[in-house]
Amino acid sequence: MIDHPHFLPMSRREAESLGIDRFDVILVSGDAYVDHPSFGAAIIGRVLWDAGYTTGVIAQPDWRSDADFTGLGRPRLFFSVSSGAVDSMVNHYTARLRRRSGDAYSPGGALKRPDRAVIVYANRLRALFPGTPIVLGGIEASLRRFAHYDYWSDSVRQSILADAPGDLLVFGMGERQVTAIAARLANGEGIQEIRDVPGTVMKLDLARWRSMPHEGFVVLPSYTEVAGDRKAFARAFALHAREQDPFRGRPVAQVQRKIVVVQNPPAKPLSTAELDRIYELPYRRLAHPSYREPVPALETVQFSVTSHRGCFGCCSFCAIAHHQGRIIQSRSIESIVREVERMTGMPEFRGTVQDVGGPTANMFGARCRRWCGEGACRERTCGAECPSLQLDHARQIELLRRLRQIPGVRHVFIGSGIRHDLVLADQAPYLAEICRYHVSGHLKVAPEHISPAVTRLMHKPGIEVFEEFRRRFQEESEKIGREQYILPYFLSGHPGCRISDMVDLAEYIRDRRLYTEQVQDFTPTPMTASTCMYCTGIDPFSGEPVHVPRGREKRIQRALLQYRDRRNRSLVMEGLRQAGRSDLIGSAWTCLVPGDGGCGSPRKSGEESHS
Ligand code: SF4
Ligand code: SF4
């Protein structure tokens, strides 16, 4: 092992000061380098350093010139290329395909990465450093590893390995994969010989693929088939989704135009000890000192802690199961306590732990006996109704109590979303505990919709579960005499949702006087079941046809979710008329918008109070 540097080096000068004349690995990222475990370059770089590989960072290189790419020289082992924490197209464009004006992952919020960053960076590196292995990773590469629907070009694109000159692609959380690749390259293997690392995708030329036996592979319909046939696309999605398990998953192959991509099974989950070690590496929790302006994304996570990885929620619009997996991997309470104790020693720490969680805060400690042997069930999803699922809110309560007792900690908040159905399914007094100590005025909960037809396609619990949760939350808040509220997240424009469903949702919001600033309009991001439905009009798992709102209908749906906004009035009226609900146009308090001639407020006094 070699000593960790204060920050991972970003310049020759820093490298020289550490006695490095050539890095083992260079990470190229679309994000600014922030030395915090929520940022991919920091975590992968620290893990590589921990394994004994000197690692430098090229953050947000100017892709229009060579200088930034050549600044650290040629690495001894490989370049790792990532778009950053978010897919570059999601980062750049809104659901309505409007260009965003800022980038939270850049100093000062500046726009500093190209569209399709992985392809652009990899092309630059290949031209400048022919012969040096390039490994693609991060969310953009991970979720574009097979032929996929690309909302921004409204087309089916090939695997990113066919478009970018990468030698290997790492999918999922990449610690195991990058250290295995580094070790094998350091031992003298060529990148083309590394074919069997779990959690990687390789590419083969067509002749080689045709000459080898295909037994044991799940062969998806080819790129050409899925690009031209909706049913083939949906079938490919379902076939692929079923193999996303580190224990029972089989290799998956798909022919592209000129190559074949072959995915090994996902990497095995990390043990508690391994996760603890990764999160206790000496991150500074600060942006690299060369930056003159703050990186906005750091502000919201600087003093937040990751307690676990994975989510078994399997919401259709979320790709977490294809990236982190369904199996929950939790850290030890002792390790999280040590991490927070270290935070309290930072001059920037003001006593507030912003978040303790993972993709879903209250899955910490959840277990199933199948998860670490046979793998998660292929044909059913995990949930509160499964008797084998062991929820462990008691352990999370213990964790939160231990964190509250640390000298210097005044507040411990839960900023991650929570699965309200799991809270109700467990006897532990979790809700009382978080209401009393861990809600900073509001609690984020995501029922997403009220219509059973829509929540079924989203794979979310029905609205009655949210209602029960809301009732219990209010009860607990009243018990402690505190005014706090639920911030519900609702989604418009999801496949299966019709204008009439959105009218029902708008009435629900009106009747319960919910505050709905957090409006989400469905964006078809790569590799989700919902995106497959959007692209094909088919539910990939049942084969049933699905209504897909697009264009003006999608805009009307969004407007209905924000019917209080006067700018949406004409769209809301159009939607109400289409749904045969003109009774909701007028001056009665039940109306969502005033009539054509009206200029009065449709609101009942006090309507916008919080839930
Ligand atoms: S519960 Fe949250 S993290 Fe989990 S699948 Fe659903 S949206 Fe994704
Ligand atoms: S037994 Fe239940 S909790 Fe375990 S993997 Fe299967 S569905 Fe999930």
pLDDT-based confidence at residue 611 (cuts at 50, 70, 90): very low
| pTM reported for the whole predicted model | 0.94
Classify 374 as helix, strand or coil.
coil
Say which ligand is closest to the CA of 367.
Answer: 2
Expressed in angstroms and rounded, the spacing between residue 326 Cα and the centre of ligand 2 is 10
Mean pLDDT of 210-227: 97
Ligand 2 mutation pick, 312, 328, 368, 372, max ligand atoms within 8 A of CB: 368
pLDDT digits (tens, 9 = 90+) for 435-449: 999 987 888 899 999
pLDDT digits (tens, 9 = 90+) for 506-561: 999 999 988 766 678 999 999 999 999 999 999 999 999 999 999 999 999 999 99
Expressed in angstroms and rounded, the spacing between residue 422 Cα and the centre of ligand 2 is 14
Strand segments (E) across 191-322: 200-205, 218-219, 252-255, 259-263, 286-287, 304-306, 308-309
CB of 377 closer than 6 A to ligand 2?
yes
Distance of CA 101 to the CA centre of its chain: 21
Query: Could you tell me which residues come within 8 angstroms of residue 130 by beta carbon, excluding any fewer than 6 positions away?
Result: none
| Residue extent(s) of CATH 3.40.50.280 domains in the chain | 12-205+254-262
Quickly name the fold that domain 12-205+254-262 has: Rossmann fold (3.40.50)
DSSP 8-state code for residue 545: B
What is the position in ligand 2's atom list of the atom closest to the CA of 375? Answer: 5
Expressed in angstroms and rounded, the spacing between residue 332 Cα and the centre of ligand 2 is 22
From CA 225, how far away is CA 228, in angstroms rounded?
A: 5
Expressed in angstroms and rounded, the spacing between residue 320 Cα and the centre of ligand 1 is 7
CB of 380 closer than 6 A to ligand 2?
yes
φ, ψ at 357 (rounded to 5°): 180, -160
The bridge status of strand 25-29 relative to strand 34-35 is unpaired
The number of CA neighbours under 13 Å toward the Cβ of 191 is 22
Say which ligand is closest to the CA of 310.
Answer: 1
Q: Which residues of 256-287 are buried (b: 16+ CB within 10 A; e: fewer)?
A: beebbbbbbbbbbbbeeebbbbbbebebebbb
The alpha helices in 485-578, defined as continuous H runs, are 499-512, 529-536, 551-561, 569-578
From CA 176, how far away is CA 48, in angstroms rounded?
A: 10
Is the Cβ–Cβ distance between 94 and 120 less than 8 Å?
no
Ligand 2 mutation pick, 380, 421, 422, 426, max ligand atoms within 8 A of CB: 380
Is the Cβ–Cβ distance between 547 and 541 less than 8 Å?
no
CA-proximal residue: ligand 1, atom 3 (nearest) = 359
Q: One-letter amino acid identity for 354? A: Q
Ligand 2 mutation pick, 374, 378, 386, max ligand atoms within 8 A of CB: 386
Strand (E) or helix (H) holding 8? none
pLDDT digits (tens, 9 = 90+) for 352-381: 999 999 999 999 999 999 998 899 999 889
The predicted structure's pLDDT at residue 599: 43
What is the position in ligand 1's atom list of the atom closest to the CA of 459? Answer: 6
Expressed in angstroms and rounded, the spacing between residue 186 Cα and the centre of ligand 2 is 39
What is the position in ligand 2's atom list of the atom closest to the CA of 389? Answer: 3
Distance of CA 277 to the CA centre of its chain: 23
Say which ligand is closest to the CA of 382.
Answer: 2
Query: Could you tell me which residues come within 8 angstroms of residue 104 by beta carbon, excluding any fewer than 6 positions away?
Result: 295, 296, 297
pLDDT digits (tens, 9 = 90+) for 573-589: 999 999 999 999 999 99
Burial class for 388, CB neighbours closer than 10 Å (0-12, 13-18, 19+): exposed
Query: Could you tell me which residues come within 8 angstroms of residue 288 by beta carbon, excluding any fewer than 6 positions away?
Result: 7, 10, 32, 33, 34, 35, 57, 59
If one counts every other C-beta atom within 10 angstroms of the C-beta of residue 565, the result is 12
CA-proximal residue: ligand 1, atom 6 (nearest) = 315
CB of 208 closer than 6 A to ligand 2?
no
The predicted structure's pLDDT at residue 608: 31
Classify 574 as helix, strand or coil.
helix
pLDDT above 80: residue 604: no
Say which ligand is closest to the CA of 388.
Answer: 2
Mean pLDDT of 252-262: 98
From CA 34, how far away is CA 45, in angstroms rounded?
A: 11
Q: One-letter amino acid identity for 429? A: P
Expressed in angstroms and rounded, the spacing between residue 382 Cα and the centre of ligand 2 is 5
The predicted structure's pLDDT at residue 1: 56
If one counts every other C-beta atom within 10 angstroms of the C-beta of residue 21, the result is 9
Expressed in angstroms and rounded, the spacing between residue 368 Cα and the centre of ligand 2 is 6
What is the position in ligand 1's atom list of the atom closest to the CA of 314? Answer: 5
φ, ψ at 315 (rounded to 5°): -60, 140
From CA 306, how far away is CA 357, in angstroms rounded?
A: 5
What is the position in ligand 2's atom list of the atom closest to the CA of 380? Answer: 7
Residues within a 6 A CB radius of ligand 1: 311, 313-315, 318, 320, 359-360, 417, 419
Maximum Cα–Cα distance across the chain: 78
From CA 378, how far away is CA 397, in angstroms rounded?
A: 31
What is the position in ligand 1's atom list of the atom closest to the CA of 359? Answer: 3
Say which ligand is closest to the CA of 448.
Answer: 1
Expressed in angstroms and rounded, the spacing between residue 180 Cα and the centre of ligand 1 is 29
pLDDT above 50: residue 166: yes
Say which ligand is closest to the CA of 416.
Answer: 1
Four-CA torsion 166, 171, 174, 179, nearest 10 degrees: -50
What is the position in ligand 1's atom list of the atom closest to the CA of 311? Answer: 4
The predicted structure's pLDDT at residue 149: 98
What is the position in ligand 2's atom list of the atom closest to the CA of 386? Answer: 2
Closest CA to 453 of 462, 443, 440, 444: 462
CA-proximal residue: ligand 2, atom 5 (nearest) = 376
Distances (CA, A) of 292 to 58, 288, 347, 421, 503: 17, 9, 19, 44, 48
| Residue extent(s) of CATH 3.30.750.200 domains in the chain | 441-611
The predicted structure's pLDDT at residue 439: 87
Mean pLDDT of 465-482: 93
Expressed in angstroms and rounded, the spacing between residue 365 Cα and the centre of ligand 2 is 15
If one counts every other C-beta atom within 10 angstroms of the C-beta of residue 411, the result is 14
Mean pLDDT in the chain?
Answer: 94
The bridge status of strand 218-219 relative to strand 252-255 is parallel
pLDDT above 90: residue 59: yes
CB of 457 closer than 6 A to ligand 2?
no
The predicted structure's pLDDT at residue 609: 30
From CA 113, how far away is CA 110, in angstroms rounded?
A: 9
Say which ligand is closest to the CA of 325.
Answer: 1
The number of CA neighbours under 13 Å toward the Cβ of 458 is 22
What percentage of the chain reaches a pLDDT higher than 90? Answer: 90
Angle between helix 175-186 and 40-50 (nearest 10): 40
Say which ligand is closest to the CA of 323.
Answer: 1
Expressed in angstroms and rounded, the spacing between residue 379 Cα and the centre of ligand 2 is 10
The predicted structure's pLDDT at residue 309: 97
Query: Could you tell me which residues come within 8 angstroms of residue 195 by beta carbon, excluding any fewer than 6 positions away?
Result: 202
Closest CA to 145 of 79, 223, 61, 207: 223
HEC string for 408-428: CCCEECCCCCECHHHHHHCCC
Ligand 1 mutation pick, 320, 391, 420, max ligand atoms within 8 A of CB: 320
pLDDT-based confidence at residue 602 (cuts at 50, 70, 90): very low
If one counts every other C-beta atom within 10 angstroms of the C-beta of residue 535, the result is 24
Query: Could you tell me which residues come within 8 angstroms of residue 170 by beta carbon, excluding any fewer than 6 positions away?
Result: 80, 135, 136, 137, 141, 142, 177, 178, 181, 199, 200
Expressed in angstroms and rounded, the spacing between residue 462 Cα and the centre of ligand 1 is 15
- Looking at domain 441-611, its CATH architecture is 2-Layer Sandwich (3.30)
